[in-house]
Structure 1
């Protein structure tokens, strides 16, 4: 499928750059940032470490999605995207996104609870932001599920068409 090279090649370059950037963040930037936050604000207790764990797990989820996207791009170039093999990678993306969303919802609920019950932290902006991010994450997950269903329909139609031909 040579027609798709104009989009597949630049996308792969960007995926590599994002993956490398996420590795740097995961092993250098995030631990240093949260260690500094924990040292500057000892009254925060374990919250910086909770947020570090959350951030590293979310970055890991993004890395898994990047690897799956790479594999799907391989199937696109080989003109095999409408095959059962693609559903393995799409399913991994769906379940990874579900896991990332559950983590986001859990951490957001915990932090909103802390903010709500701590009078000196009662700024409505942060809970609104956390709830908004959780809602947007849910929309993304459900959109991916719909796209998976569309891929399933297209695969069935292509299989039927190949049988006719």
Structure 2
């Protein structure tokens, strides 16, 4: 598999860089930004702290996806991607997407309700953007479920072919 070696190596470099970036975001940037914003506008703390929690957990979900993808890349290099073991890593990705989507949907409902019950903030822009993000998230979750089903079918076909040969 010499043709796959360079893309896998490049993907690993970008995944490692993204993982390091996300750690910096989790530890320094997100908490620092929210703390600063709460100091500037203490009356908005009840909105900012839930956003921080959801953002931190969302970043954690992305980190899980990175780790699972890394393991799947190892399986690709060893020509073991069409195995039952790979399905566990894909399940990890699917569950990370489901959890991230659930967090986003919950935050969207919370923020939309707050905006709806605050007359001076009643602007349809934020709820519409949040609704769009929730729709995109749902599409990504369902796409991952379909791709997992395709991997399961390919794994079964490969197992059948190996049994014949």
TM range (shorter): over 0.9
Structure 1 position 88, deviation (Å): 0.8
Q: Partner of 2:111 in structure 1? A: 111
Residues 2 and 77 in structure 1, CA contact (< 8 A), matched pair in contact too: no
Corresponding residue of 2:137:
137
1:50 is displaced (CA, Å) by 1.0
Q: Indicate conservation of the 8 Å contact 2:34/2:48, yes or no.
A: yes
In the alignment, the residues of structure 2 paired with residue 79 and residue 136 of structure 1 have an alpha-carbon distance, to the nearest angstrom, of 32
Q: Which residue of 2 aligns with 1:150?
A: 150
Tell whether the 8 Å contact from 2:47 to 2:111 is kept in structure 1 after alignment: no
TM superposition shift of 1:164: 1.3
TM-superposed CA distance for 1:6, in Å, is 1.9
Residue in 2 aligned with 1:102? 102
Distance 1:21 1:96 in 2: 19
Work out the number of aligned pairs and report it. 165
Q: Name segments (4+ residues, structure 1) moved above 6 Å.
A: none
Which structure 2 residue ranges, 5 or more long, are not aligned?
Answer: none
Give the CA RMSD over aligned residues.
0.8
Mapped partners of 1:101, 1:80: distance in 2 = 30
TM-score between both structures, scaled by the size of structure 2 = 0.98
Alignment-derived partner of residue 13 in structure 2: 13
**What is the TM-score when the length of structure 1 is the normalising length?**
0.98
Q: What pairs up with 1:1-165 in 2 under 5 angstroms?
A: 1-165=1-165
- Alpha-carbon offset, residue 45 of structure 1: 3.0
Can you list the C-alpha shifts for 1:67-109, whole angstroms capped at 9, x where unaligned?
0000000000000000001011011111111111111100100
